[in-house]
Amino acid sequence: MFSSSNWFKEWFNSPYYHKLYFEHDEKEASAFINRLLNKLKPPSPAKFIDVACGRGRHAKLLASNGFDVTGIDLAPASIAMAQKLENSNLHFFEHDMRLPFWINYFDYAFNFFTSFGYFRTEREHYNAIRTIANALKPNGTLVIDYLNVHYAEDHLVHKQEKVIDDVTFYLTKWFDETHFYKKIEVEDDALNAPLEYTEKVAKFSLGDFNDMFAYYHLQLKEVYGDYSLNPYDTKKSPRMIMIAEKTI
Predicted local distance difference test score (pLDDT) of residue 3: 42
31-58 pLDDT tens trace:
999 999 999 999 988 999 999 999 999 9
How many folded domains does the chain comprise? 2
**By the 8 A CB rule, do 117 and 204 touch?**
yes
Residues 108 and 194 in one domain: no
Residues 51 and 130 in one domain: yes
Residues 70 and 136 in one domain: yes
- Compute the distance between CA of residue 89 and CA of residue 32 in angstroms, rounded to an integer: 21
Q: Which domain, by its residues, includes 180? A: 152-199
Residues 169 and 130 in one domain: no
Residues 27 and 106 in one domain: yes
Predicted local distance difference test score (pLDDT) of residue 147: 97
Give the CA distances from residue 195 to residues 8, 15, 22, 189, in Å, rounded to whole numbers and listed in that order.
Answer: 14, 12, 19, 12
Residues 74 and 165 in one domain: no
Residues 41 and 79 in one domain: yes
Predicted local distance difference test score (pLDDT) of residue 24: 55
Residues 208 and 184 in one domain: no
Confidence band for 29, pLDDT divided at 50, 70 and 90: confident
Residues 130 and 232 in one domain: yes
Residues 191 and 236 in one domain: no
pTM recorded for the entire structure: 0.92
Residues 48 and 121 in one domain: yes
Q: Which helix (H) or strand (E) holds 153?
A: helix 149-154
Average pLDDT rounded to a whole number, residues 137-165: 96
The side-by-side arrangement of strands in the sheet containing 195-202 is 159-164, 167-175, 179-187, 195-202
Residue 4 or 180, more confident: 180
181-239 pLDDT tens trace:
999 999 999 999 999 999 999 999 999 999 999 999 999 999 999 999 999 999 999 99
76-88 pLDDT tens trace:
999 999 999 999 9
